[in-house]
Amino acid sequence: MSAEKTEQQSVPWIKRPDVAVELADGRRLEAAGRPLLMGIINVTPDSFSDGGRYYDHDAAVERGLQLARDGADILDIGGESTRPGSTVVPPDEEKQRVLPVVEDLAAETDVPISIDTRKATVAEDALDAGAHIVNDVSALRFDIEMAPLVADRGVPVCLMHMQGTPQTMQDNPTYDEVVSDVCDWLAGRMEVAADAGIGEDRIIIDPGFGFGKTVGHNLELMRRLHEFHDLGRPLLVGTSRKSMIGAVLGAGTDERLSGTLATVCCAAMSGAHILRVHDVAPARQAVEMCEAVRLGERYTGRKP
């Protein structure tokens, strides 16, 4: 039996495609050794999982610094909840929430900062304050000025799939075949981004777990997550504390860490590049264990 065949049989998950994201400052986000961890900072009073906990400026900054100490590779700062049924936050109010946090974290840590917003004016001011990435849950659909802004600034953008809007997405999510439908939709949004002048090496894709999907849809997306590698871009997965976990385990939002870590491991074994999580420290341990098992006898211990 050839060594190559033995290797394929002994590794029951997908090799992570070697694709990276270029930041405007010349740095590269690479996930060769393990998936990158994106730590969540919700500067909102109504987030589904930690609403109000980090709404205070000082609490939000300290949370970001703690996530960085825990090993976050990216800090994702958002000032507008996009949970089912949420309402749109006016841009000025969203700026008041996030800009001071972005500015202070950019001054105190070298960890790249992502601004989680659908609004170009919020994204622009956040980039001026020190953010490096735009995480747009509308995939450039909500604000027609977002694509030109991203192209002009040369920053990475995350394009996430969502059926409908946060107000309507869970009314009756329906697909012909959820994985191929979401893949095709993301491919279409990548074309829109390219037409706007956004470089392919600046695009990240996200299947949008929980955004216009039933529990069954979410589980099927996770089961066949590797199929999204056909799009050729880094794959971001965000399942942290989401209702799909609560539905399977019968667990409240504060009791979903174990389920979250299970999905983190599934995503890591399917070759995901970025994992968006609330709890960075345990997620980092989980993905390090996954990577160690993947290496098997080649594992030589932690790097100094």
Measured CA to CA, the distance from residue 77 to residue 135 in angstroms comes to 9
Are 219 and 245 within 8 A, CB to CB?
no
Measured CA to CA, the distance from residue 69 to residue 162 in angstroms comes to 32
Whether 280 is in a domain gets the answer: no
Whether 130 is in a domain gets the answer: yes
Quick: pLDDT tens for 90-138: 999 999 999 999 999 999 999 999 999 999 999 999 999 999 999 999 9
Are 249 and 236 within 8 A, CB to CB?
no
Whether 42 is in a domain gets the answer: yes
| Degrees, nearest 5: CA angle 134-83-93 | 60
pLDDT at res. 63: 95
Kindly report the CATH number assigned to the domain that includes residue 130: 3.20.20.20
**Which letter, b or e, does each residue of 106-118 get, where b requires 16 or more Cβ atoms within 10 Å of its Cβ?**
beebebbbbbbbb
pLDDT at res. 3: 46
The two structure tokens encoding residue 115: 């601004």
pLDDT at res. 253: 87
Measured CA to CA, the distance from residue 124 to residue 56 in angstroms comes to 23
Measured CA to CA, the distance from residue 289 to residue 248 in angstroms comes to 24
pLDDT at res. 256: 95
Contacts of 298 (CB under 8 A, 6+ apart): none
Indicate the burial class of 75 (C-beta count within 10 angstroms; 0-12, 13-18, 19 or more).
Answer: buried
Whether 184 is in a domain gets the answer: yes
Whether 284 is in a domain gets the answer: no
Q: Spell out, as residue ranges, where the chain has pLDDT lower than 50.
A: 1-11, 48, 304
Are 203 and 156 within 8 A, CB to CB?
yes
pLDDT at res. 55: 59
Range of the domain at 167: 29-235
pLDDT at res. 303: 62
pLDDT at res. 165: 65
Q: State the maximum Cα–Cα separation within the chain, in Å, rounded to a whole number.
A: 64
The single-letter code of the amino acid at 103 is: E
- Count of CB atoms within 10 A of residue 4's CB? 8
- Count of CB atoms within 10 A of residue 197's CB? 12
Whether 50 is in a domain gets the answer: yes
- Residues in a beta bridge with 11: none
User: What residues are annotated to the active site?
Assistant: 242, 276
Number of folded domains in the chain? Answer: 1
Quick: pLDDT tens for 59-97: 999 999 999 999 999 999 999 987 766 678 999 999 999
Whether 213 is in a domain gets the answer: yes
pLDDT at res. 56: 83
pLDDT at res. 1: 40
Cα-only R_g, the chain:
18
The single-letter code of the amino acid at 224 is: R
pLDDT at res. 53: 57
Listing DSSP states for 80-129 in one string gives S--STT--PPPHHHHHHHHHHHHHHHHHH--S-EEEE-S-HHHHHHHHHH
Whether 164 is in a domain gets the answer: yes
